[in-house]
Amino acid sequence: MTLWQRLLFALATGYVFFFYSERMFWSFLRPGDAILFQVIAWLLYSFFTYMTLAIIARFNVNTLWSLFLAGTAFGWIVEGIYAMTFFGNGGIVLPFSIVWTGIASHALLSVVIGWYYLYRSLAYRSYLHSLAFSFLLGLYWGVWAVAWALETPPILSSYDGFIGHALITTLLLMIALWLHSRFDPANFRPTKWEHIVLFAIALGYTLLVTLPTVQFMLIILIACFGVLYLLLERHRKTAPAKPYLLTTFSKSIPIGKLLCLIPMPIIASLVYVAMNDVGLIIPSNLFVFIITSIAGTLFFLLAAYKIFRQPKGGEVVQEPPLIQHGAQPDRH
């Protein structure tokens, strides 16, 4: 895999993470959300994604538990180093801000469910499975979006605006997922210099921007990254050499299966319009916060437990691997 292929793969995957973490999270475009700013945000997420993919490669991520930890690293990079909501924001204080949104939203929804499991559904499962997956994501999107009307002042979207945003961003998601297998993801192995450059940029931003803003609280973020490193290093030393997680994305998605994503923006739009029309404005954000925070915390603890009980010497513990040994990915 060439450097250009790695960069393009990071851009494609970066849009997937950007889609869930930004476009689905904020639900629709606000006044002042310039297209140029959205492009810049996607490129920024692609940089964070490159770091996450480098972590996946460096620590031989090939189980559900190690993937979740890599997703947590992605979430803490975004919310800790860059956005700094890791230290508390919008009424959510430490230690709850450590989980929301880094673990509960980024790791759980963006990386594990929205990226990995959706791709597996589209590339390996039946049409019915993919349609059901799309339906559930659309239902979540529509119900979640309604809660923005409870902000002060209320944040609303015109129905045409919501529908247009949902359709266009989903179309771009379909293109990004279709491109995955074109870049030889199974051989994504950044060089030592790429790791050095990524680390240097992150460190420079942390020292120049994050540290002056959060000051001594940065110690909390460093400690959390230290825990992640110990867990992932333990996984690297005990995990089998194969199968490698990114092999999953070497199997191309048929165009027909990609079309299974079309119901997602349609369902989201119908739910958003219907709930607003009947005045069913519920605090769905609170429900999502509670459910995903509990689930994310439990999953993180379970991942730590699973990795620590993983025997040394490459023996696989009794858990389903992310990639079935019998599956032969398509080659391009």
In the predicted model, is pLDDT for residue 332 greater than 60?
Answer: no
pLDDT in tens, 298-317: 999 999 999 998 877 554 43
Closest CA to 186 of 66, 43, 60: 60
Rg for the chain, CA atoms, rounded = 20
Let me know if residue 323 belongs to a domain.
no
How many other C-beta atoms lie within 10 A of the C-beta of residue 126? 11
pLDDT band at 241 (very low <50, low <70, confident <90, very high): low
The pLDDT of residue 72 is: 98
Q: How far is Cα 149 from Cα 247, in angstroms, rounded to an integer?
A: 42
pLDDT in tens, 145-201: 999 999 989 999 999 999 999 999 999 999 999 999 999 999 999 999 999 999 999
Closest CA to 28 of 120, 187, 123, 165: 165
Q: How far is Cα 88 from Cα 80, in angstroms, rounded to an integer?
A: 10
Mean per-residue pLDDT, 135-147: 98
Q: How far is Cα 227 from Cα 233, in angstroms, rounded to an integer?
A: 10
The pLDDT of residue 3 is: 95
Q: What are phi and psi of 280, to 5 degrees?
A: -90, 75
Q: How far is Cα 263 from Cα 19, in angstroms, rounded to an integer?
A: 16
Mean per-residue pLDDT, 18-47: 96
Let me know if residue 330 belongs to a domain.
no
Contact 177, 253 (CB under 8 A): yes
pLDDT band at 244 (very low <50, low <70, confident <90, very high): confident
In the predicted model, is pLDDT for residue 322 greater than 60?
Answer: no
The pLDDT of residue 310 is: 82
Let me know if residue 202 belongs to a domain.
yes
Let me know if residue 167 belongs to a domain.
yes
The domain in which residue 11 lies consists of: 3-308
Q: How many domains does the chain have?
A: 1
Let me know if residue 173 belongs to a domain.
yes
Q: How far is Cα 209 from Cα 207, in angstroms, rounded to an integer?
A: 6
Paired tokens of 26: 């904020």
pLDDT in tens, 251-271: 999 999 999 999 999 999 999
Let me know if residue 327 belongs to a domain.
no
Let me know if residue 317 belongs to a domain.
no
Taking each helix axis from N to C end, the angle separating 127-146 and 263-277, rounded to the nearest 10 degrees, works out to 30
The pLDDT of residue 316 is: 42
Paired tokens of 110: 């963006």
Proportion of the chain above pLDDT 90, given as a percent: 88
In one-letter notation, the amino acid at residue 177 is L
In the predicted model, is pLDDT for residue 321 greater than 60?
Answer: no
Let me know if residue 316 belongs to a domain.
no
Q: Is pLDDT larger for residue 241 or for residue 248? A: 248
| Mean pLDDT score across all residues of the chain | 92
The pLDDT of residue 128 is: 98
Paired tokens of 25: 């999270």
pLDDT in tens, 41-51: 999 999 999 99
pLDDT in tens, 2-20: 999 999 999 999 999 999 9
pLDDT band at 242 (very low <50, low <70, confident <90, very high): low
The pLDDT of residue 315 is: 43
The pLDDT of residue 121 is: 98
The pLDDT of residue 325 is: 40
In the predicted model, is pLDDT for residue 208 greater than 80?
Answer: yes
